Chains A and B, each alone.
Chain A
Amino acid sequence: MTTEIILQTIISGLLMGFIYALVAAGLSLIFGLMEIVNFAHGEFMMLSMYAAFWLYTFFGLDPLLSIPICAALLFGLGVATHYGIIRHILDAPMMVQITATFGLAIFLRSLAQFLWTPDFRTIPDPIVAGRIEVMGIFLGVPQLVASAGCVLAFAFLYLFISRTETGLALQATAQDREAASLMGIRPDRMYALGWGIGSACVAVAGVLLTSYYFIFPEVGLIFALIAYVTVAMGGFGSLIGALVAGVLIGLVEALGGLLIDPAFKYVIVFSMYLGIVLVRPKGLFGRY
């Protein structure tokens, strides 16, 4: 095994890790805000990939250009999910909350199968294509762009949450809803905004993936599963935790696949997850 191959694997792992991080950030934001896990997070990603696919098919719009449209669509879907479903089950028992978003996930997946068939689709010739060689290492351009896009989106999210008035209000609501409402913050609006932003995050990741990934009704499953692990490992509600854990999982998955066996890569990822939460149940950067 050459150094090039190892280096190449590390870089691919990193690139994938940033995508995982953005997907997890969206999930973590919603959880941090209202302690509800969106089990339809992966399906939201799937919908955004299909949105990009149809925008390409009907209007010839390249995925890169449809990012803002898909983000806006999924922002809307997130807000609608809050007002249509979540708002009514905020104080319901946890099983009710789980079944609600789980049910939504199954509904959306079946709907996608029904409307668009279970076929695997691809975007035949996206703007970003091919690969580049740097010092003997080959990197796919779509992978590079997708990863860079996720890093950029993540940075935006981070600045928004930590630097803007609304971001502060979101954090305050997450930390103490009652106290926040006494400041004049409307918790319900913050929740809706959180659902919107969280869904837009996974939408951006999804669209960026379409330049090199298959689009099919079940595409969100593995990404969502990894996102749950990422969030739990990084610490519920922590953006930095999502970033570190996402990158860690990307790296371990890639290196595990190379050094041990590709079939075992998830075994290694989940073992790492179990190891970390056994030692630190609240995750790497968790507060709760």
Chain B
Amino acid sequence: MLDVAGLEVAYGDYQVIWDVSLHVAAGEIVSVLGPNGAGKSTVLNTISGLCRPKAGRITFKGERIDGLPPYEIVGRRLAHIMERRRVFPYLTVRQNLWLGGYNPSARKERAQTLDFVFELFPRLEERESQLAHSLSGGEQQMLALGRGLMARPELLLVDEPLLGLAPAVAADMMRILRQINETGVSILFIEQNVQTALSIADRGYVLEGGHLVLDGTAEELLASADVKRIFLGG
């Protein structure tokens, strides 16, 4: 479904991603792991079109999407939920969600998708007329997820969905991600905690200093000595 090959990304002259290749098959949950500053967000931002790659190719459903602007990529049913949620703070919950279905390919089914999102997050329906900035962190993450789902994605990119959430809420969020996946949406997500990430991911990629250093199934990675070295310093 998604194929990234030989990706290189630079901010100006400052290169941060070297030769990263990864793929996500239909129906999979895949995790991108790595310490702070490893380049995880940059990879996701390049897939969704926020950053332009310096080299490499990105293919989604058999078509090249590298270099396309984000507003075109989302129309191909690839949604990206950025780090720190990035909800529209001074719009209501409902308006945020509604805009999630702005792109023409999602617009027709907007009302049904909204029902589906409200079913998944009843909390959002209770707060539909509240301004997004007044929501709690967990609610904002639900809103960001719901807004992403409004684009009717086949692939969902999620950047650190658990950031700043209390353990109970984080567990809830993981359950919801799995639930979304069960409706047929493939997921590529970033998470700092290996255990948590691999509890729901089928596979994982480990980035370090802009290079892909490891990849494998959840079991392989959990058993890997390198993972322990990178993440536990042991």
Q: Which residues does A use to contact B, with CB under 8 Å?
A: 165, 168-169, 171-172, 175-176, 178-186, 287
How many A-B residue pairs lie within 8 Å, measured between CB atoms? 65
Contact of B74 among A169, A172, A176, A183 (CB under 8 A): A183
Question: Are B151 and A184 in contact, with the CB atoms below 8 A?
Answer: yes
User: From B144, which residue of chain A is reached at the shortest CB distance?
Assistant: A179
Q: Identify the B interface with A (CB < 8 A).
A: 48-50, 69-71, 74-75, 79-80, 82, 86-91, 95, 98-100, 102-104, 106, 147, 151
> Chain A residues near B79 (CB, 8 Å)?
182
- Complex Cα distance, B82 from A178, in Å, reads 9
Smallest beta-carbon distance A91→chain B, Å: 12
User: How many angstroms between the C-alpha atoms of A179 and B104 in the bound complex?
Assistant: 17
Least CB distance, B14 to chain A, in whole angstroms: 16
Instruction: Please state if B102 and A175 are interface contacts (CB–CB under 8 Å).
Output: no
Chain A residues with Cβ below 8 Å from B106 are: 184
Distance, CA A222 to CA B179, complexed state (A): 60
A179 CA to B71 CA in the complex, in Å? 10
**In the complex the two chains form, is B91's CB within 8 Å of A172's CB?**
yes
Interface centre among B95, B99, B147 (most CB of A within 10 A): B99
A175/B88 contact (C-beta < 8 A), A185-B102, A186-B71 known = yes
22 of the cross-chain contacts (CB-CB < 8 Å) are A168-B95, A168-B98, A169-B99, A172-B88, A175-B88, A175-B90, A179-B82, A179-B88, A182-B48, A182-B50, A182-B71, A182-B82, A183-B74, A183-B99, A183-B102, A183-B103, A183-B151, A184-B74, A184-B103, A184-B104, A184-B151, A186-B69
Question: A183 with B100: in contact, given A168-B95, A178-B50, A178-B82 (CB under 8 Å)?
Answer: yes
Closest chain B CB from A165 CB (angstroms): 8
Contacts of A165 in B (CB 8 A): 102
Do residues A185 and B82 form an inter-chain contact, with CB atoms below 8 A?
no
Interchain CB contact (< 8 A) of B91 among A175, A181, A182: A175
User: CA A165 – CA B75 in complex, angstroms?
Assistant: 17
Complex-state Cα separation, A180 to B100, whole angstroms: 9
Distance between Cα atoms of A46 and B151 in the complex (Å): 44
Closest B residue to A187 using CB positions: B71
Q: Which of chain B's residues have a CB closer than 8 A to the CB of A176?
A: 86, 88-89
Q: Which residues of A contact B147 (CB under 8 A)?
A: 183
9 additional contacts, CB 8 Å, given A171-B88, A171-B91, A178-B82? A168-B95, A172-B88, A181-B69, A182-B48, A183-B147, A184-B75, A184-B106, A185-B102, A287-B90
Question: Closest approach, in angstroms, between the C-beta of A78 and any C-beta of chain B?
Answer: 22
Instruction: State whether A182 and B99 are in contact (beta carbons under 8 Å apart), knowing that A168-B91, A172-B91, A175-B88 are contacts in the complex.
Output: no
Residue of A nearest to B100 (CB): A183
**B74-A182 in contact (CB<8A):** yes
Q: In the complex, which of the residues A168, A172, A179, A184 has the most CB atoms of chain B within 10 Å of its own CB atom?
A: A184
Contact B70 A182 (CB under 8 A): yes
B143 CB to nearest chain A CB (Å):
11
Picked from B48, B49, B50, B99, the residue with its CB within 8 Å of the CB of A172 is B99
Cβ–Cβ < 8 Å partners of A186 in chain B: 69, 71
List, in ascending order, chain B residues with CB within 8 A of A185's CB.
71, 99, 102
Contact A178 B86 (CB under 8 A): yes
CA distance A169 to B151 in the complex (A): 15
Nearest A residue to B89, CB-CB: A175
B88 engages A181 (CB within 8 Å): no
**Is A181 within 8 A of B99, CB to CB?**
no
Q: Are A169 and B102 in contact (CB under 8 A)?
A: yes
Shortest C-beta distance, A90 to chain B (Å), equals 15
Query: Which one, B71, B90, B98, contacts A181 given CB within 8 A?
Result: B71
